[in-house]
Structure 1
Amino acid sequence: MELPAALWEGPGKVAFTLVLAVVLAGLGLGIGSGLVRAAAFGLREAGVAITPARAILLSTVLLQGVAFGGVSLVYLRVRNLSVREWVGVSIPDLRGWLTVVSGWILAFLGAMTMVFVVVLTGLDPAANQTSQLGTADPLVFALLVPISFLLIGPGEELLFRGVIQNAMVENLGRVPGILLATLLFAAAHVFSLTGPLTGRATTVFLLMVPGLVLAVTYDYTKNIVVPSLVHGAYNATLFALAFFGTVFGG
């Protein structure tokens, strides 16, 4: 099965690409959420308590791993595209590793700068469900350090950069494709947030900065491994800081 070429051509290709991107993101989030709920229900019925650590393992394995990875691979299969060639999968060379390090630094410093701006302006970001779980059990933050590299980084980058960004750049152009894919990536996190709409919008705004760094590193290297490592390192740094802050911060 392959998508008709006419969908990628003519005046309707912009609308089709935007709808396709939203559908792919929605499928990943929807299927993942459904799998997590079903697995949690099954465990509870079997008498297994859903601790914060088990909840985060279920969420990352089934959402970023199974759902995001599955949706991405089905899309590539439907379009008869190669993961290695179209997405780009290879061991980073020296330039790639330098991009990983510089991308991690830029993403972290950029995010911290945005947090500083938000504090100065008096805005109030939304609370994150993961942070709430980690506050209840610091083991969650410790588990999320390796999970950031193994599941979160690869799963989210494959879907939002390797598939969605590639499709948008292919049909909308480089700059619009990168910006719109980044906006969709940031907006997708709204479902993991709690609190008022203004707080969620603020957090989505904050996520645009590391999101753009990830998008540019992928565009620069054309190797999904690079933004996956940047993403993993960025998240792992935040989770490590949260762990030490929760355990030793009193």
Structure 2
Amino acid sequence: MSTSDRSPLRTAVALVSAVGLGGGGLLLGFLLVSVALAVLTYGLGIELSASALIVLSLVFVQGVGCAGVALAYLKLRPAVGPEIRSILGFDGVPGPFDIEADLPDLRGVAIVVGGYVVALAAAFGGSILVTLLQVDTGTNQAAEIGMENPEVLLILIPASILVIGPGEELLFRGVVQGRLREVLGPVAGIILASSVFAGLHWFALTGGSAAGNLVALGVLVGPSLVFGAAYELTDNIVVPSLIHGIYNATLFTLLYVVIVFSDQLPDPQNATSALLAVL
């Protein structure tokens, strides 16, 4: 699409679609988790462990919510898209929309390794900024559960690569970034998709001040930009999924080590705070 085709209405529709798809996937997942919890806890009288809660969340939020909405969009767009364009008075025919998923070639592997290193550097650079600003940041709910129940982290480590990375990247890079790229181009698509991804993590934070949580979300934008750039460079959703998954797995592994071996570390409190600032 040329720059002249980027009318205010097209831009607004793309932005609303991006936020709606990203937020809708997470909202669907959380609603399904709530229903499942209500049925299991109040209906069947089953008391779920922390590990069971995490598994339930992974299945419904990243699995059904994120991946399900992304796949539904791919399936329904050819039928629903033309009707919406007709209602809005858009001319022309939209190009094909697909999400490629292949085993990375050598270039892709290099981008996975480089992206992982840059994402971690961006995250820990952000944690230093949080420390210097001395702001009160909230805690990611999954990390909070993991701190109280370290065995949960042993589930989150492989799940990061197998479920969290693929599910979230399929939705936020494959669909949200892809949708924004159509109208606004690749650079704006990466920046806005990363901002949407980071912004929606507000609802996963507990505690902290408003200013502190905004800073925490700003820190998350750094790794998100890496995921988005990796997808744009390769057009292969497997690449950002691997970077995202290994990145998360590394942070959960480090958090597990700090918690379990806290009595053997010189400053476990600062180490924990640094990790919580980027999770």
What is the rounded CA distance, in whole Å, between the counterparts of 1:86 and 1:42 in structure 2?
37
- Structure showing greater radius of gyration is 2
Aligned to 1:191: 203
Which amino acid in the other structure matches residue 167 of structure 1? R
Residue number among 62, 84, 102 corresponding to 2:114 in the alignment: 102
Counting only pairs closer than 5 Å after superposition, residues 92-131 of structure 1 correspond to structure 2 as 92-131=104-143
- Return the match for 2:13 from 8, 13, 16: 16
Q: How far has the Cα of 1:127 moved from its partner?
A: 1.3
Map of 1:150 onto structure 2: 162
Q: Are 1:50 and 2:48 matched, yes or no?
A: yes
Rounded to whole Å, the distance in 1 between the matches of 2:213 and 2:163 is 24
Q: Is the 8 A contact 1:129 1:194 kept in 2?
A: yes
What does residue 92 of structure 2 align with? none
- Which ranges in structure 2 are unaligned for 5 or more consecutive residues? 80-96, 264-279
Residues 121 and 143 from structure 1, CA distance in 2 versus in 1: closer, same or farther, beyond 3 angstroms? same
- Coordinate RMSD, CA, aligned: 1.7
**Post-superposition offset of 1:73:** 1.0
How far, CA to CA, are the matches of 1:123 and 1:147 in structure 2? 30
**Cα pair 2:6 2:184 within 8 Å, conserved:** no
State how far apart, in whole Å, the 1-side matches of 2:67 and 2:137 are.
29
Residues 43, 13 of structure 1: alpha-carbon distance in 2 compared, 3 angstrom cutoff: same
Decide whether the 8 Å contact of 1:36 with 1:58 is kept in 2: yes
* Amino acid of the structure 2 residue aligned with 1:60: L
Instruction: State the percentage of identical aligned residues.
Output: 43
Distance 2:101 2:225 in 1: 20
Give 1:3's aligned residue. none
In structure 1, distance between residues paired with 2:6 and 2:110: 37
- Partner of residue 4, structure 1: none
Alpha-carbon displacement from aligned partner over 1:35-88 (angstroms, at most 9, x marks no partner) = 00111111113222121111111111100001111111111112239xxx7211
Q: What residue ranges of structure 1 are gaps of 5+ in the alignment?
A: 1-7
Q: Contact (CA 8 Å) 2:130, 2:216: kept in 1 or not?
A: no
- Alpha-carbon deviation of 1:11? 4.1
2:66 corresponding residue in structure 1: 68
Look up the SS of the partner of 2:104 in the other structure: coil
> Which residue is 1:237 aligned to?
250
2:260 aligned with 1:247: yes
For residues 167-192 of structure 1, the C-alpha deviation after alignment (integer angstroms, 9 at most, x for no partner) is 10111112111111110000111111
Deviation for aligned residue 1:9: 7.1
What letter matches 1:243 in structure 2?
Y
**Could you tell me the TM-score, scaled by structure 1's length?**
0.92
Q: Does 1:91 align with 2:103?
A: yes
Note the alpha carbon deviations across 1:79-111, whole angstroms, 9 max, x for none: 239xxx721110100011111111111101110
Instruction: State the aligned residue count.
Output: 241
CA contact (8 A) 1:126 1:202 kept: no
Amino acid at match of 2:31: G
Q: Please state whether the residue corresponding to 1:80 is helix, strand or coil.
A: helix
DSSP-derived class of the 2:78 partner: coil
In the alignment, the residues of structure 2 paired with residue 212 and residue 132 of structure 1 have an alpha-carbon distance, to the nearest angstrom, of 25
Partner amino acid, structure 2, of 1:13: R
